Amino acid sequence: GDKKGITRFGSALVPLDEALSRAVIDISGRPSAHVSLGFKRPMVGTMSTEMLEHALESFATNAGVTLHVECLSGKNDHHRAESAFKALARALRMAVSKDGFGDVPSTKGVLM
């Protein structure tokens, strides 16, 4: 749709034990991904850490959003990954929430 009435921007800081991640999203129609999770090992369980970062990049590209996700601290790669994806979920929920104005949230009046 035309994205009328959404907040458009969202951000979240999410801890999981010793890990802390930040996600920021702009539902802009301009896909861009900036991902820095700082994994220490090549695998989290049975999943490649490279694929976890690729999943975030693919989401941004296919959803047409600008996305910044980074793990700010944490020793355990599983905790780093989980806090990052939870931060993204909370940021996305904020960005798609109703803003109360009902307009397209853009100075240009349109979002792609």
Convert the pLDDT of each residue in 36-86 to its tens digit.
Answer: 999 999 999 999 999 999 999 999 999 999 999 999 999 999 999 999 999
Instruction: Say if residues 30 and 63 touch (Cβ distance below 8 Å).
Output: no
pTM for the predicted model, two decimal places: 0.87
Instruction: Say if residues 86 and 28 touch (Cβ distance below 8 Å).
Output: no
Q: What is the pLDDT of residue 6?
A: 87
Q: What is the pLDDT of residue 103?
A: 66
The overall longest dimension of the chain from CA atoms, in Å, is 46
CA distance to 10, 23, 63, 68, per residue, from 94 (Å): 5, 11, 16, 15
Convert the pLDDT of each residue in 5-45 to its tens digit.
Answer: 888 999 999 999 999 999 999 998 999 999 999 999 999 99
- State CA 67 to chain mean position distance: 5
Domain ranges, ordered by start, for the chain: 9-96
Q: What is the pLDDT of residue 65?
A: 97
Q: What is the CATH number of domain 9-96?
A: 3.30.230.40
